[in-house]
A and B are shown apart, each in its own frame.
Chain A
Amino acid sequence: MPEPLLNYLAEMQIYRLSPAWAKLDEACHCIVECGGDWSNFDDDIAVHRGAVVEESFIYLCGQSFDEPFLLPQMEFKENRFTNVHFFRAESIAWLLFLDVTEQTLMQQLQQQNANELSLLRDQQRRVLDRYVGGAVTERSIEGRLTFDAAGERRNISTMFIDLRSFTIFNQKYDPQHVMDVLNQYMNKMLPPILDEFGLVDKITGDGAMTVFGVLNEQEDSALLAFRAALRIQREISTMNDLRRQQGDYIMDVGIGIGSGEAVLGILGAHDRRAFTVIGPHVNLAARLEGEAKGGEILADETTFLTVQHLIDSHECRSIELKGIGASQVYNLRYSK
């Protein structure tokens, strides 16, 4: 790269980091020389020539200067993040403060989403734990899990959702960006599920398995699942219209719903417990999701019969599902 460009870029980057620096004496006891805008990093920081390191940087008390170190994302004042570097170059000891607020706040958004989702799932598991409580017994025999025959049986609906073309997308963009977009889509898909009392059983990178009719028994589980599915498709469609206008990459969602009797159980050792459902319709629902094209909601017959009065039209086809056999599949048509 030509030198003027390199300099230009370097200056731009350096400007963004608004560096402040201090040259320390051999013993790292005093500041020999310093520069940059220290007030940017901390309001009551007192960095000047001749100052004692320990007094200028009180929060570094206990810090050893024998080895170079990097303290990332230090928040000395609210919402202001600093990377603190210490190193020796040509036997001179330097302390360098760099402002990384912008990047950090962007990461925080994602971190926040991820943590909240994780807390939510934890909470759902606990609710269920208490709810099913003794009704479901779990037994582990030589590592194999079997359910007590008297385990809790219920009529539930299972819904699988999946983002189409995520794989291609994943390879084309940098991971940070992928996470961002994925979060945007997840944020559209989760609220409809929760609003219909759906339990999020598994979240795979680009989809989820959810169960309806466990937390809410007042309404038919198929209705709950269908309402969630409908809202997801509509919200994703609206978001995609917007993204398309902006020239952004878009993804569609395929949904499969199955309903029927299932056994509810809690699997896993006590601190890693997760609830699970086992029933023939669960596998069927997963297969339906696999068959669904972007924007489609595919349902099994039980689900279809419950929700048919709510849809504009449907298309029924018989498909051969491996391991399940010929099944009637209903493509539930809805207005956008």
Chain B
Amino acid sequence: MSRILQKKVCLLGAFAVGKTSLVSRFVNGIFSDKYLSTMGVKIDRKSLQLDDVTVNMMLWDVHGEESVKKVPAAYMRGSAAYLLVIDGTRSATVDTARELHARMRAEVGDVPFVVLLNKVDLKDEWELSDADVATIREEGWECLMTSACTGENVEAAFIRLADQMIA
């Protein structure tokens, strides 16, 4: 029997890691290198068909977490899953992801999440070393190297998340 599910999915991370670009690549298939800082939450929708299950994703593209401007807990509540986005060229964004992860755990509990190490097209300029990535993986974080620019692993990331939500 086919099922239709509505799920809220949050994208979380420091500012300018590529959250908005990943959504834009996934939903509209486009990328722009112009940076426009997100205010509040940008809402988008996309459906994924996984065998006989349709997952309607409500994508909450949240503004970047900053020390002076934290992501409000109200945005987090009700999430069925989330993507933690890290910018490989800025290793400080790993700390931000850790912080957000801890807060998500406190707000919504043990829901599925996938960690995106974004801007893999700029791998030459990465500040994050292979050892850093290994450390992150050792924490049990499922990581995917993505690029909103080339589209690498973008759809795969959302599919992976959807898979976990219906499991």
* Interface 0/1 of B25-53, CB less than 8 Å to A: 00000000001111111110100000000
- B91 near A: Cβ within 8 Å? yes
Contact with B78, one of A63, A108, A115 (Cβ below 8 angstroms): A63
Neighbour of B91 across the interface among A58, A73, A271, CB < 8 A: A271
Contacts A64-B78, A126-B89, A271-B95 known; A59 to B39 CB distance under 8 Å? no
Contact mask for chain B residues 118-159; partner A; CB cutoff 8 A; 1 contact, 0 none? 000000010100000000000000000000000000000000
Asked if residues A126 and B39 are in contact (CB atoms below 8 Å), the reply is no
With A59-B58, A62-B80, A116-B35 as given contacts, are A75 and B74 in contact (CB-CB < 8 Å)?
no
Interface residues on B, range: 35 or more
The minimal Cβ–Cβ distance linking B57 to chain A, given in whole angstroms, is: 10
Q: A62, B7: Cβ atoms under 8 Å?
A: yes
In the bound complex, residues from chain A placing their C-beta under 8 Å from that of B37 are 108, 111-112, 115
A133 contacts the other chain (Cβ, under 8 Å)? no
Once the chains are docked, how many angstroms separate the CA of A185 from the CA of B38? 24
Q: In chain B, what residue has the closest Cβ to A105?
A: B39
Q: Would A126 and B125 be within 8 Å (CB), given that A61-B7, A64-B77, A81-B39 are in contact?
A: yes
A-B contact count (CB 8 A): 85
Contact B41 A58 (CB under 8 A): no
B43 engages A59 (CB within 8 Å): yes
Residues of B close to A271: CB separation below 8 A: 91-92, 94-95
Tell me, rounded to whole Å, the shortest Cβ–Cβ distance linking A272 to chain B: 7
Contacts of A72 in B (CB 8 A): 40, 72, 74
Measured CB to CB, the residues of B under 8 A from A are 6-8, 15-16, 35-43, 45, 56, 58, 60, 63-64, 72, 74-75, 77-80, 89-92, 94-95, 125, 127
Closest 10 CB pairs of A and B: A73-B40, A62-B78, A61-B6, A62-B8, A75-B42, A63-B78, A271-B92, A112-B37, A59-B58, A111-B37
